[in-house]
Structure 1
Amino acid sequence: MKIKSDRIKGYIFALIGTIAFSNEYIFSKAALNEVHLSQFGVYWFATGALLTLLYSLYKKKIKPIKYFTEKQYFILIILGFLEIITATTFYLSIHIIPNPAVTSFLGNMYPVMLLLGGVVILNEKFGLLEAAGVLFAIAGAFIVSYTGETSLDAIFIPGAGIVLLNAIFAASASLIIKVHVKNITPEILNLNRSVWLFIFSAIMLFIYRQPITIPISALKNITIGAILGPFVAILTIYYSFRYIEASRSSIIQSLKGIFVLTGSFLLFGILPLPHQIIGGVITITGVIILTMGRSASLIITDKKH
């Protein structure tokens, strides 16, 4: 009974995290419709950093910092720079692409890049099921971003290339964490990310000479989005890993496009084009197939050892 109860808890945490992360697309889009990206970043990441710091102090997760090695500090710096590129491309794509659901569908390229990075850099193996998932996800992303034009400069929607860059750099950061980060809690990783991004946003605010004051409506959207996204989503997904396998949690997370689609319609009254919805469903299917294949491969590997 306890195993069943824990599994239910895991799925609930994964679902809450997925819904919270889906709302990050919605509220960041609403805020970016009103303010400059640098203004958005200052308020968004200041909120995220403050919440993470308070939570980390409450849970006493900050203490281990003084015991970090030089290598761990160096890794945190590298991750900080990668997060700057990843976050900038992520929010820039949300700003450029009119419908956040489309951005979410294209964002399903991240697990594909993560798998390919593992194969190229870590010499990991993958089977036919995972290969099928990759092909599905790539095909779906192509359909979502296809404009119907034939010329190379107009074949994909604006912002599609930025989403691809985001997937590449996000996968790179994940691979570094997987290989090099030991004994660093998710709270510290999240705090490191928020602080670096806040500093970068503050510098960009000065460079672009943007005012620090923003509309109240934008501030509301930023506050809600920052609480749901960088704070609630990351922590609940982390807690889901305590009760269910990461692969099971990932399957729930792959459904975020459906929640973003619903939220976009309710808040903005917009839907993707029919072919983009079809492509989005294909990308989600691809991620689910990839995740299930990855899970099966890991089980087989464990049995061999």
Structure 2
Amino acid sequence: MFVTHLGEIIALATALCWTITSLSFESAGKKIGTMSLNFIRLIIGFILISLYCYFTRGLILPIDASLHNWTWLGLSGLVGFVIGDLFLFQAFIELGARISMLVMASVPPITALMGYIFLDEKLTSLNFIGMFITIVGISIVVFQKSSKKIELVHPLRGLCFAFIGALGQSFGMILSKIGMDNMNAFAASQIRIIFALLGFSMLFFFLKKWKAVFKGVKNISAMKALTVGAIFGPFIGVSLSLMALNYTSAGNVSTITSIVPVLIIPFSVIIFKERVSLKEIAGSIITIFGVCTLFL
């Protein structure tokens, strides 16, 4: 059973990693900003993955990867890490990790559509029902009825950031699926991170943000939270998600990792002392049900 569903088990472990890293990055991002957070956590993740690859593969860099691997995984790193995560982490600051990750539950429907377009994966009527249920669940949390009007409960700016982050994650996953070609998951992560670091370096150069990075490194409290997030994010989490893609479909991986909005609720209550309403819990559960229905 475990061998048959190995991809799903790995994806579940990935979801737990995303929960831990989301809370860690929310804490660190509020102290040093999202751009510095992204760059520093990628450096930490790259060092950890490179050391792991050296001791397990005998290669500190993925020099055995093909041009196909470098091209598509490089694009995946730029789209998923630079664009997707930059907006997602800003959403953490604007909305908090819990609501941001709920909006990120839109990743599976988006990924399914992209898989249909680019990977020739099929979509059924039940898939579309799942998409609809997912949207309803998210809407229950982000909208409320007031004076006969439908209003947003949370800032539009933060919700837009989270949705752009979802788009980045979806396209990044599709590009990774195309580019991996059964290569080592940790080596694939290295390629994605290398291109992401290049992308952020260019941004820092044009926006003159290098001072913010050096200042962020000196913030001990932020660095502690950031290091925890980097270990469970770019190192373990991302690599596990890519490993899961080798054993199951992109849709299944997206479905299982989308349970983060539910996993994160008790952590948010205990760590950040957030008040979670029954409406938010119900919306989160409906969202996850919709995502599961999407891939039945």
TM range (shorter): 0.7 to 0.9
Change in Cα spacing, 1:265 to 1:157, as seen in structure 2 (3 Å) is farther
Q: Given residue 171 of structure 2, which amino acid in structure 1 is its aligned partner?
A: S
What per-residue deviation string (whole Å, max 9, x for no partner) do you get for residues 148-169 of structure 1?
A: 4758999964311222222222
Shift of 1:273: 4.2
Q: Given residue 270 of structure 1, which amino acid in structure 2 is its aligned partner?
A: E
Shift of 1:109: 0.4
Change in Cα spacing, 1:60 to 1:71, as seen in structure 2 (3 Å) is same
The residue that corresponds to 2:88 in the other structure is 90
Change in Cα spacing, 1:20 to 1:72, as seen in structure 2 (3 Å) is closer
Shift of 1:232: 2.0
The residue that corresponds to 2:166 in the other structure is 167
The residue that corresponds to 2:107 in the other structure is 110
> % of aligned pairs identical?
19
Q: Is the 8 A contact 1:6 1:244 kept in 2?
A: no
Change in Cα spacing, 1:211 to 1:54, as seen in structure 2 (3 Å) is closer
Q: Given residue 267 of structure 1, which amino acid in structure 2 is its aligned partner?
A: I
Q: 2:143 matched to 1:143?
A: no
Higher mean C-alpha deviation, range 101-110 or range 252-261: 252-261
How does 1:230-269 map onto structure 2 within 5 Å?
A: 230-237=234-241, 252-269=256-273
Structure 1: runs of 5+ lacking an equivalent: 293-305
The residue that corresponds to 2:26 in the other structure is 29
**Which whole-Å CA distance do the structure 2 matches of 1:35 and 1:210 have between them?**
8
The one of 266, 278, 283 equivalent to 2:282 is 278
The residue that corresponds to 1:216 in the other structure is 220
Change in Cα spacing, 1:59 to 1:42, as seen in structure 2 (3 Å) is same
How does 1:2-17 map onto structure 2 within 5 Å?
A: 4=1, 6=3, 13-17=10-14
Shift of 1:219: 0.7
The residue that corresponds to 1:192 in the other structure is 191
Report the aligned-residue RMSD: 3.2
**Which whole-Å CA distance do the structure 1 matches of 2:61 and 2:102 have between them?**
38
Shift of 1:237: 4.5
The residue that corresponds to 2:41 in the other structure is 44
Q: Given residue 288 of structure 1, which amino acid in structure 2 is its aligned partner?
A: C
TM-score using structure 1 length? 0.80
Q: Is the 8 A contact 2:185 2:243 kept in 1?
A: no
Change in Cα spacing, 1:147 to 1:188, as seen in structure 2 (3 Å) is farther
The one of 98, 101, 109 equivalent to 1:101 is 98
Q: Is the 8 A contact 1:27 1:225 kept in 2?
A: yes
Shift of 1:142: 2.1
Shift of 1:177: 2.8
Q: 2:86 matched to 1:78?
A: no
Higher-Rg structure is 1
The residue that corresponds to 1:128 in the other structure is 125
TM-score using structure 2 length? 0.82
Higher mean C-alpha deviation, range 68-77 or range 127-136: 68-77
**Which whole-Å CA distance do the structure 1 matches of 2:254 and 2:213 have between them?**
40
Q: Given residue 191 of structure 2, which amino acid in structure 1 is its aligned partner?
A: N
The residue that corresponds to 1:58 in the other structure is 55
Q: Is the 8 A contact 2:50 2:61 kept in 1?
A: no
Higher mean C-alpha deviation, range 80-89 or range 156-165: 156-165
